[in-house]
Structure 1
Amino acid sequence: MQFFRCTYLGHENEEIIGFCLNQTCQNATQYCYECLSNTHSDHLNDCIRFAIISKYINQFIQIQREQTKQFKEIQNELTNCFEQIFKKIDQNNKILESMNQKLQNKEFLSFKSQINILKLHYSKEKEKQIQEQITQLNNINSAIKIILRDLIKWYDQIISGNINKTKIEEVNRISQVQNQQRMQEAKRLFIQGQKLVNEGKFKEALIKFDESIKQFNQDYIIYVWKGFALDSLSNFQEAINCYDKAIEINPNHDNAWNNKGWALNCLNKFQEAIYCYDKAIEINPNHDYAWNNKGLALNNLNRYQEAIECLDKAIQIDSQDDYAWNNKGFALRKLNRFQEALECYERANEINPNQDSAWNNKGFALKKMNRFQEAVECYDKAIQINSKNDMAWNNKGSALNNLNRFQEAIESLDQSIQINSKNNFAFENKGFALHQLKEYQKAIECYDLDLSLHVKPVTLKLKADALLELGKKSEAKKLYQTALQKGSNEKDYIKKQLSKL
């Protein structure tokens, strides 16, 4: 930022923000904000700030570009018209010259066939019509000369600094009307986009938002809504770009920061997401969504106690936030505080019975408490709400395994795999069920699919058990050893198995 000395009061290090246009003003040629508000109050309308001047310059440039375009269009039209006139006159002259030649050559019959042309010219009607058109063109030419004279005079006045204030005001008025019209059109398109978002038509909404931005691109709210539509289409990086634009226009918009955090969270950029949530909370300490989302990000970073503190804050602000209760339950479950977690899930289900995630999580907590049949009932509830919840199908299969209902477990796990072929837990649990049914080779195939997605000590141990059942001791021994190297929690069991080999 550049600083000057104010020429009125001689302030040091004051930012100069404009100057006075009033010709009689002897107070200051450039002034700081204090001088503008205090000293020039008698003719404040003549005082122009630099920011406003820049805006006017851009408006003048835009107007003149539009005028240039219009003048060129008129020029092209006139040029085209004159070319057609000259072409027609040339054609007529050639016909008359041809007739004259025929007359001289005594080609009377041929001449007679064109006699009507001569009659038309002899009647003076055509000549009179053309003369009237020439008069009209002369009038147009005079009008263009007047426009040119006024433009030259006006531009000379601008350059010399003597431009008429009335004309400036007129240009400003026209510009303001045009801007107002564009802003109204932008608002109309924006409202249409909002309606489409609420209807779940996100692609169509994006078209409306882009059309609105073309009309007026300085409304931060539209970028927030466009970002939300992109989030809904899983275009998270594009959404972040929109939120950044909104924040650039209005750095104090808490929802823009919160939504940017959510998009970053979806890209697994949890630490960056937390920074955004903190900004939203700094702006609005009662932003319950930001507290909840920060808790979710902390859960993803395995910082469960910190997550609980954030989620408690969200619940304190809004005790009916079922997502906050669900996320708090998850953190408590990870800390092996299953009874407290269960109470959170039940609270979430009480507030919103249609949240499949809470039912699934409640089932998981019950399973950890060895209440397997109740867990299955919760998973069924989650599946009833959302039949595409692959983790609910997987968890149901796992609970059925605990109840020794292995065939039913396989059916549930097949549903999970059909929905999500990369759910490695479903392959592990299905392999376990097949193992219990003594279908060891099929179990090994499932374990291999699991290991192709994610190498886990528990799966290595399970595959080794199946190989041992098939008498493949050498292969089983290698896998048991690998499971130990990978940090298996079943070291005593594996060492016992290795002692048999």
Structure 2
Amino acid sequence: MDYGYLCTIVDHSNEPIIGYCFNQECDKPKQICFDCFSKQHSRHQNDCLRFNQIIQMISDCTLILQNLEQSEQIKMQNIIDQFKKNLKFISSEKDRLIKLQAQLRNQDCSQIQNQLEQLKQWRSFTLNKSVKNNNIGIQLDEIKKFEKSFDQFFQPYLNSQTISIKPLEQISQSSMERQNSNKTQEQRNPPQNVNQEQLALECLTSAVDLFKQNNFQDALNFINQALKINSDLEQAYLIKGLSLLHLEQYEEAVDCFNDCLRLDLKIETVYYHKGFCLSALEHFDEAIQNYDKALEIRVDPDFYLKKAQALYQSLKYDKALEIINKALDINTKQQYLQLKGAILHKLGNSAQELNCYLAALGLDQNSSSINHNVGVALHTLKRYEESLKYFDAALAIEPNSPDSLNQKGITLLSLDRYQQALECFESALQYVEKPEYLTNKAKTLNFLKRQNEALQIFEYIRQKFGE
């Protein structure tokens, strides 16, 4: 069957795609033609599936999910049936006792003898005595067991007092030991302001709930109230720091993360988010130090990504390349490949840059930025006609991208297609007025022998932008 899908690899472009690579460690483009299958994926050809194999795999997965769906429906129905059974017993006993109570109030004692045994069981229950060896006791015991198992399963979802935001739930051992020490001291000397401490925890809980709803300003207000009562709440400083981060108040956020560290809340998320804020403040060396501390606690490819970005921004391209490769050794994500491509661009390795962007495009065909970057890499390699195809693809996804319009215009200039280039620069300028767009338009007008218009634009750039 012809799926009408062609390969984009440089050496064998326009070859028909025959399937996809499913090897999670592979950093080559996922779509494969026959040449890809025999050359680029030769080490794991068993993971390269043709379209008919993919169809069969999806069919197998669908069958598994159908069976799982049926199994879960049965389990859910069993739970519902058990609830109904428990509710029926509880309602029946309640109605029977209410009826007997009404009879006694009307001085009707005729039913006491018949229900004396059940009343004995209920009296034992109210006195907290064992009732397991009789009918009512057995029923109540079954209900309690069912409720306990149900609560244990759903506790992580139902407990509003849980102050944990993934991955914020990991508190350092030293911090936990200190908290246990404080609890022991409190048991010896009970605090006098229990209500105030409870109020602080309630404020913290409300702040966490608001944070999870992305309501960062209100979360911050509750956190500040909690810290007025108890200035040593570690998690409060953490939530405050994260809220300030989302509000782009980076310096204040760094102060909060420092408070976390002062109180021995030395977990990877504190170092990671402190590094993020420092990067936003362009303190790249300090940011890198914090990413390193986060990585000492837990190796995470996203930590490597942020460290590589900080190195890239501080112009340390060779080191940035080394770090982003560590991220790619763990997982292949399009943002990792995009950054690697940007680093290779700075290092002047256009061929590898192109392969990185093509691999990223294999993970996300509908990304305007990746198509744009492929176009730029091809332009650098002077493959202008191919470059135009990717700029067109980027603009088909994001028609109002001035950068893609400008880059397309530059490529058209290289092909001496001046009128089309001029149209691109003028379209880019409709969205945003940048000196480089104006300069490119002026150069194009000069090629079109429209020197007076070009000179007017250069004068306008000098007056407005001082260039």
TM bucket (normalised to shorter chain) is 0.5 to 0.7
Match of 2:255 in 1: 241
Match of 1:186 in 2: 204
Alignment of 1:191-340 (within 5 A): 191-195=209-213, 197=214, 204-216=215-227, 218-221=232-235, 223-224=237-238, 226-250=240-264, 252-284=266-298, 286-319=299-332, 321-340=333-352
Match of 1:130 in 2: none
Query: How does the TM-score come out when normalised to structure 2?
Result: 0.53
C-alpha displacement at 1:227, in angstroms? 4.4
Alpha-carbon contact 1:427-1:449 (below 8 Å) kept: no
1:227–1:324: structure 2 CA closer, same or farther, 3 Å change rule? farther
Query: How does the TM-score come out when normalised to structure 1?
Result: 0.50
Partner AA of 2:329 in structure 1: Q
Give the whole-Å Cα distance in 2 for the aligned partners of 1:339 and 1:276: 33
C-alpha displacement at 1:311, in angstroms? 0.3
RMSD after superposition: 3.5
1:372–1:293: structure 2 CA closer, same or farther, 3 Å change rule? same
What is the CA deviation profile of residues 4-51 of structure 1, one whole-angstrom value per residue up to 9, with x for unaligned ones? xxxxxxxxxxxxxxxxxxxxxxxxxxxxxxxxxxxxxxxxxxxxx9x8
Match of 1:424 in 2: 435
Match of 2:383 in 1: 371
Partner AA of 1:426 in structure 2: Y
C-alpha displacement at 1:395, in angstroms? 1.5
C-alpha displacement at 1:214, in angstroms? 1.5
1:181–1:228: structure 2 CA closer, same or farther, 3 Å change rule? closer
Rg larger in 1 or in 2? 1
Alpha-carbon contact 1:372-1:403 (below 8 Å) kept: yes
C-alpha displacement at 1:381, in angstroms? 3.5
C-alpha displacement at 1:452, in angstroms? 6.5
Alpha-carbon contact 2:361-2:370 (below 8 Å) kept: yes
C-alpha displacement at 1:366, in angstroms? 0.9
C-alpha displacement at 1:230, in angstroms? 4.3
Give the whole-Å Cα distance in 1 for the aligned partners of 2:341 and 2:221: 41
> Which one has more relative contact order, counting CA pairs under 8 Å at least 6 apart?
2
Give the whole-Å Cα distance in 2 for the aligned partners of 1:177 and 1:415: 64
2:361 is aligned, of 349, 367, 389, to 349
Number of residue pairs the alignment of both structures matches:
285
Say yes or no: does 1:447 pair with 2:461: no
Give the whole-Å Cα distance in 1 for the aligned partners of 2:400 and 2:250: 22
1:316–1:213: structure 2 CA closer, same or farther, 3 Å change rule? farther
Give the whole-Å Cα distance in 2 for the aligned partners of 1:292 and 1:206: 28
Alpha-carbon contact 2:378-2:386 (below 8 Å) kept: yes
Percent identity (aligned): 24
Partner AA of 1:427 in structure 2: L
Give the whole-Å Cα distance in 2 for the aligned partners of 1:215 and 1:426: 52
Alpha-carbon contact 1:252-1:283 (below 8 Å) kept: no
Give the whole-Å Cα distance in 2 for the aligned partners of 1:341 and 1:304: 13
Partner AA of 2:306 in structure 1: N
Say yes or no: does 1:362 pair with 2:374: yes
**Secondary structure of residue in 2 paired with 1:268:** coil
Partner AA of 2:446 in structure 1: H
Give the whole-Å Cα distance in 1 for the aligned partners of 2:409 and 2:399: 14
**Secondary structure of residue in 2 paired with 1:209:** helix
Alpha-carbon contact 1:325-1:347 (below 8 Å) kept: yes
Alpha-carbon contact 1:424-1:449 (below 8 Å) kept: no
C-alpha displacement at 1:329, in angstroms? 0.7
1:409 is aligned, of 413, 418, 421, to 421
What is the CA deviation profile of residues 234-274 of structure 1, one whole-angstrom value per residue up to 9, with x for unaligned ones? 44334433433444344522223222323333333333322
